[in-house]
Amino acid sequence: LPDRTGGVSDFQNPSQRIAAGGHCHSLDSREMKLIAFAAIGRLLVWTIQTSGPTQRIKTWLNTDFTNELWACDFCLGFWVFAGLAALFEINILEPYYFPIFSEIITGLVASFVVHLARIGWTAKWGYEVLE
């Protein structure tokens, strides 16, 4: 089997590689960074929407903007993911970088993808209580 360097591997199939202590596929650092980015972002959105201290902040501010922001996980996610994109230095526009604009686009796309995943999860495994 050809390996990533273009040479030929000593192992003929994946089970031989695993038996020798290797891995069929392991996540590289970029993939792990994206998974951590999505997971941390979703947890932050959920925590902001449900925790007591942030609910008190929302009540204290009591504006239409904050009420709508807290109610919409896509809207809140945009701000959370844009901030995390700057912290994690994630740019989906690579190899191009436009200061601030790249983080905004990354936050928008990440929020949308995570929002769709949440809707799918809820549709598949969620339940509604009818009264």
Contact assessment for residue 76 and residue 49, using Cβ atoms and an 8 Å cutoff: yes
pTM of the model: 0.73
Contact assessment for residue 109 and residue 92, using Cβ atoms and an 8 Å cutoff: yes
Euclidean distance between CA atoms 103 and 24, whole angstroms: 34
HSE-up of residue 71 (Cα within 13 Å, Cβ side) = 8
Contacts of 85 (CB under 8 A, 6+ apart): 37, 91, 102, 103, 106, 107, 110
Compute the 3-state secondary structure of the chain and give helix, strand, coil in percent, each to the nearest 5.
Answer: 65, 0, 30
Q: pLDDT tens digits for the chain (131 residues)?
A: 445 555 555 555 555 555 555 555 677 888 899 999 999 999 999 999 999 898 888 889 888 888 898 899 999 999 999 999 999 999 999 999 999 999 999 999 999 999 999 999 888 898 878 87
